Chains A and B, each alone.
Chain A
Amino acid sequence: MTTAAPDGARKLRWRRRSVLPGFGLSLGYTIAYLSLVVLIPLAGLGIRSASLGWNEFWAIALDPRVVSALQLSFGAAMIAAIVNTIFGVLVAWVLVRYRFPGRRWLDAAVDLPFALPTAVAGIALATLYAPNGPFGVFLMSWFGVKVGFTSIGVTLALIFVGLPFVVRTVQPVLEEIDRETEEASATLGAGRLRTATRVILPAMFPAILTGFALSFARGVGEYGSVIFIASNLPYKSEIAPLLIVIKLEEHNYAGATAIATIMLVIAFAMLFVINILQAWSRKWFGHE
Chain B
Amino acid sequence: MSSAHPHKIGQAIGEGRWTRLALITIALIFLGLMLIAPLFVVFVEAFSRGVGVYIDALAMPDTMSALRLTLLVAAIAVPVNLVFGVAAAWAIAKFEFKGKAFLLTLIDLPFAVSPVVSGLIFVLLFGANSVLGPLLDSAGIKVLFAVPGIVLATVFITFPFIARELIPLMQQQGSSEEEAAVSLGAGGWRTFFQVTLPNVKWGLLYGVLLCNARAMGEFGAVTVVSGNIRGVTTTLPLHIEILYNDNKAAAAFAVASLLALLALVTLAVKTVLEARFANSHAAQRRH
Contacts and interface: CB of A to CB of B under 8 A. Distances in A.
B37 interface: yes
Contact of A264 (B12, B33, B113, B175): B113
B237 interface: yes
B98 interface: yes
B217 interface: yes
Contact of A241 (B83, B115, B238): B115
A14 B97 CA distance: 5
Contacts of A222: 114-115, 220
A38 B187 CA distance: 32
B94 A20 contact: yes
Given A110-B31, A120-B260, A223 B220 contact: yes
Contacts of B129: 253
A121 to B, nearest CB: 6
B271 A117 contact: no
A54 interface: no
B116 interface: yes
A26 B88 contact: yes
Contacts of A90: 23, 26-27, 30
B9 A163 contact: no
A110 to B, nearest CB: 7
A119 B107 contact: no
B62 interface: no
Nearest to B40: A124
B113 to A, nearest CB: 7
A271 B106 CA distance: 13
B156 A41 contact: yes
A32 to B, nearest CB: 10
A88 B184 CA distance: 47
Given A117-B263, A120-B237, A18 B95 contact: yes
Chain A contact surface mostly: helix
A204 interface: no
A112 B267 contact: yes
Contacts of B260: 116, 120
Contacts of A214: 111
B219 A119 contact: yes
Contacts of B223: 223, 245
A217 B108 CA distance: 12
Given A37-B156, A183-B13, A222-B114, A111 B267 contact: yes
A160 B30 CA distance: 11
B213 A114 contact: yes
B213 A41 contact: no
Contacts of B2: none
A182 B13 contact: yes
B114 A241 contact: yes
Given A37-B156, A93-B23, A241 B270 contact: no
Chain B contact surface mostly: helix
A284 interface: no
Interface string B34-50: 11111101100100000
Contacts of A160: 34-35, 38
A104 interface: yes
Contact of A16 (B26, B96, B179, B249): B96
Contacts of A18: 94-96, 175, 179
Nearest to A180: B13
Nearest to A121: B38
B217 A30 contact: no
A223 B213 contact: no
A42 B127 contact: no
Contacts of B13: 179, 182-183, 186, 195
B256 A120 contact: yes
B31 A21 contact: no
A45 B120 contact: yes
Contacts of A117: 213, 216-219, 236-237, 256, 259, 263
Contact of B24 (A22, A94, A110, A253): A94
27 contacts: A18-B94, A21-B191, A30-B87, A31-B103, A34-B106, A39-B106, A45-B120, A87-B26, A90-B26, A90-B27, A94-B24, A111-B270, A114-B213, A115-B213, A116-B260, A118-B220, A160-B35, A179-B13, A183-B9, A183-B12, A187-B12, A245-B116, A253-B129, A260-B120, A260-B121, A263-B114, A263-B117
Given A91-B27, A115-B264, 10 more contacts: A20-B94, A37-B159, A107-B271, A109-B35, A112-B267, A118-B237, A124-B42, A163-B35, A222-B114, A241-B114
Interface of B: 9, 12-16, 20, 23-24, 26-28, 30-31, 33-39, 41-42, 45, 83-84, 87-88, 90-92, 94-99, 103, 106-107, 109-117, 120-125, 127, 129-130, 152, 155-156, 159, 175, 178-179, 182-183, 187-188, 191-192, 210, 213-214, 216-220, 223-224, 236-238, 240-241, 244, 249, 252-253, 256, 259-260, 262-264, 266-268, 270-271, 274-275
